[in-house]
């Protein structure tokens, strides 16, 4: 069985794709306990110690990651197959004079991933990040700032063949728009072109095809009886008038009546909300690809959150489908059978405790299918390579 290590793994939504592809998790590092708890609920690693909480810049945390891998390979021949890293990144060009020291420090978490990769020397390395990832500012070990692609090449190009590409995951199997960068590196002793491990282009799906079969929700706070994750997230009642008359593609800011546009009442006066983004309070289209999912997918005022026909933001179940998360993926230790059998009040309490973590995790995630496709491609190419080597040995 092929093995992998995951850095900046959040709730493990993307990583679940490697699990689906048959990879064995040896170590997963995440900074926040509430997100690591989601990974623990899914039990994809054999050992509890594989789930490592803490800051990756902490030497103790790095040592725990490396120790987990070394301990496994004490009893198993071979080396780590895959390291995947999705570090937080501001996506600001080196040439952009608006970048700040804090941005560069945050971006330099990429370097921590690279240094661990150098230590573990896996067969494959996968980075996933923002669209402008490769031209983003990053501080190297010499204290100087370079583009991330230069730092990756400096540390890894001697031992790895590297291929990076900007792409929108909607064209590669994902159910929603997500412009990102993938960088795949293959160790030079393995005769596989990293480009061949990229996900393959596929037909896009419309929002209707992805979530159109789910029940409509019309009552504020409504929870589908047999699916606790398909709910009408409540909001301030008067705001419903802002979005109720909207047709697909229209924004509440387009309403002719000032009282139906997003606003506040201050000292008896209407104070209009500022229209910073055209996609806020905007009803989505059934016949277009699902919108990009952001971390603030819980409010009408965020980007692309309003359902095509219902007066609400997308439910968690709908977001899971848009991010290609399989239905069996768990967000807590309880089974879905148990959760769906709870009383309405207990369901509300559970959602109050977990919903924001779930929504944020989905907004930060890699669509599960993307990593599954990469994992499947690694399996396919390695099987082909092993078959060729066997023929050579027999001859």
Contact call for residues 42 and 330 (beta carbons, < 8 A)? yes
CA atoms within 13 A of residue 323's CA, in its CB half-sphere: 32
Q: Looking at the 3D structure of the chain, how many domains does it have?
A: 2
CA angle, residues 24, 25, 31, in degrees to nearest 5: 170
- Closest by Cα among 132, 120, 138 to 185: 120
User: Both 235 and 329 in a single domain?
Assistant: yes
Residue 169 CA to residue 31 CA, distance in Å, equals: 26
Residue 11 CA to residue 361 CA, distance in Å, equals: 6
C-beta contacts of 59-65 below 8 A and 24+ residues apart: 61/29, 62/112, 62/116, 64/27, 65/5, 65/7, 65/27, 65/29, 65/116
Question: According to the model, what pLDDT value does residue 104 have?
Answer: 52
Identify the CATH number of the domain in which residue 47 sits.
3.40.50.150
Residue 71 lies inside a defined structural domain of this protein: yes
Please, which residues bridge with residue 272 across strands? 263
Other CB atoms within a 10 A radius of the CB of residue 348 amount to 17
User: Both 111 and 257 in a single domain?
Assistant: no
User: Both 300 and 389 in a single domain?
Assistant: no
SS3 letters across the chain: CCEEEEECCCCCCCCHHHHHCCCEEEEEEECCHHHHHHHHHHCCECCHHHEEECCCCCHHHHHHHHHHHHHHHHHCCCCCCEEEECCCCCCCECCCCCCCHHHHHHHCHHHHHHHHHHHHCCCEEEEEEECCHHHEEEECCCCCEEEHHHHHHHHHCCCEEEEEEEEEHHHHCCCECCEEEEEEEEECCCCCCHHHHCCCCCCCCEHHHHHCCCCCCCCCCCECCCCCCCECCCCCHHHHHHHCCCCCCCEHHHCCCHHHCCEEEECCEEEECCCCCCCECEECCCCCEECCCCCCCCCCCCECCECCCCCCECCHHHHHHHCCCCCCCCCCCCCHHHHHHCCHHHHHHHHHHHHHHHHHHHHHCCCHHHHHHHHHHHHHHHHHHHHHHHHHHHC
User: Both 33 and 139 in a single domain?
Assistant: yes
Identify the CATH number of the domain in which residue 317 sits.
3.90.120
Range of the domain at 78: 3-202+377-394
Mean pLDDT by 10 residues, the chain (395 residues): 96 98 98 96 96 96 97 94 89 49 66 96 97 89 91 97 97 97 97 98 97 97 97 95 96 91 84 75 97 95 95 98 98 97 97 97 97 98 90 79
User: Both 271 and 152 in a single domain?
Assistant: no
In terms of Cβ atoms closer than 10 Å to its own Cβ (0-12, 13-18, 19+), residue 278 is exposed
User: Both 107 and 10 in a single domain?
Assistant: yes
Residue 369 lies inside a defined structural domain of this protein: no
User: Both 82 and 132 in a single domain?
Assistant: yes
Residue 294 CA to residue 307 CA, distance in Å, equals: 15
Residue 127 lies inside a defined structural domain of this protein: yes
User: Both 342 and 389 in a single domain?
Assistant: no
User: Both 68 and 112 in a single domain?
Assistant: yes
Question: According to the model, what pLDDT value does residue 101 have?
Answer: 56
Residue 372 lies inside a defined structural domain of this protein: no
User: Both 28 and 174 in a single domain?
Assistant: yes
Residue 357 lies inside a defined structural domain of this protein: yes
Residue 231 lies inside a defined structural domain of this protein: yes
Residue 371 lies inside a defined structural domain of this protein: no
User: Both 10 and 147 in a single domain?
Assistant: yes
User: Both 214 and 191 in a single domain?
Assistant: no
């Amino acid at each position: 069985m092929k093995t992998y290590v995951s850095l900046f793994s959040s709730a493990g939504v993307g990583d679940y794709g490697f699990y689906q592809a048959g990879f064995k998790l040896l170590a997963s590092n995440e900074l926040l306990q509430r997100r690591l708890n989601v990974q623990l609920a899914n039990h994809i690693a054999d050992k509890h110690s594989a789930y490592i909480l803490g800051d990756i810049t902490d030497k103790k945390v790095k040592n725990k990651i490396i120790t987990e891998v070394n301990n496994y390979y004490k009893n198993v021949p071979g080396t780590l197959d895959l390291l995947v890293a999705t570090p937080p990144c501001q996506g600001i060009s080196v040439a952009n004079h608006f970048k700040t020291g804090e941005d560069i420090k945050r971006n330099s978490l990429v370097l921590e991933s690279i240094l661990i990769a150098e230590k573990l020397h896996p067969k494959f390395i996968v980075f996933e990040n923002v669209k402008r990832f490769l031209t983003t500012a990053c501080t190297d070990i010499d204290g100087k700032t370079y583009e991330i692609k230069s730092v990756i090449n400096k540390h890894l190009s001697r031992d790895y063949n590297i291929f990076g590409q900007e792409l929108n995951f909607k064209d590669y199997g994902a159910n929603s728009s997500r412009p990102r960068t993938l960088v795949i590196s293959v160790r030079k002793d393995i005769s596989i072109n990293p480009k061949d491990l990229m996900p393959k282009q596929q037909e896009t799906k419309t929002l209707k095809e992805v979530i159109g079969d789910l029940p409509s929700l019309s009552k504020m706070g409504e929870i589908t009886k047999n699916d606790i994750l398909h709910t009408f997230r409540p909001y301030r009642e008067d705001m419903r008038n802002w979005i109720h008359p909207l047709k697909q593609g229209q924004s509440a800011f387009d309403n002719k009546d000032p009282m139906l546009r997003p606003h506040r009442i201050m000292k008896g006066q209407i104070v209009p909300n500022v229209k910073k983004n055209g996609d806020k309070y905007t009803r989505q289209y059934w016949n277009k690809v699902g919108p990009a999912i952001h971390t603030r997918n819980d409010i009408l005022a965020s980007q692309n959150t309003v359902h095509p026909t219902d007066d609400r933001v997308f439910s968690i179940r709908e977001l899971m489908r848009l991010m290609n998360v399989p239905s069996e993926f768990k967000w807590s230790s309880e089974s879905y059978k148990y959760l769906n059998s709870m009383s309405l009040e207990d369901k509300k309490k559970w959602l109050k405790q977990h919903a924001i973590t779930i929504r944020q995790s989905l907004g930060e995630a890699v669509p599960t299918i993307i990593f599954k496709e990469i994992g499947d491609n690694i399996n396919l190419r390695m099987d082909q390579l092993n078959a060729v080597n066997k023929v050579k040995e027999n001859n």
